[in-house]
Amino acid sequence: MNVVDYIPSTVAFSAALVALVGKPKWDPEKRGLPRLTVTGRLTLALATIALLSSFALTWRAQQAADLRRTQQEKIMRVAHTELRLALQDLSGLVR
């Protein structure tokens, strides 16, 4: 496992700590995005970073799995071709 794989969990944990320990996350007198306080914006930013990094790591793992599968399929095609040619050679000797 790579150190980068721990980023989403670490960032999500940080967001949870900020959410639990920080000051109020919003100003009830305001509306929309300005309603969020600095602590609320930090919590939102950390949660977004955790989500995006999780997506990126999942995509990277899927790309690696696709590459492995493609390589295995190529190897199997070569192996089947070699086996077919060897069997053809053997059947030629029997005739």
Q: Tell me: the pLDDT tens digits for 10-49?
A: 888 888 887 777 677 777 888 888 888 888 888 888 888 8
- What distance in Å separates the CA atoms of residue 86 and residue 84, rounded to the nearest whole number? 5
Using alpha carbons, select from 78, 73, 12 the residue that is nearest to residue 48: 12
Confidence at 81, pLDDT banded by 50, 70, 90: very high
Task: Evaluate if residue 63 carries a pLDDT over 70.
Answer: yes
Q: Rounded to two decimals, what is the model's pTM?
A: 0.65
Task: Evaluate if residue 65 carries a pLDDT over 80.
Answer: yes
Task: Evaluate if residue 52 carries a pLDDT over 70.
Answer: yes
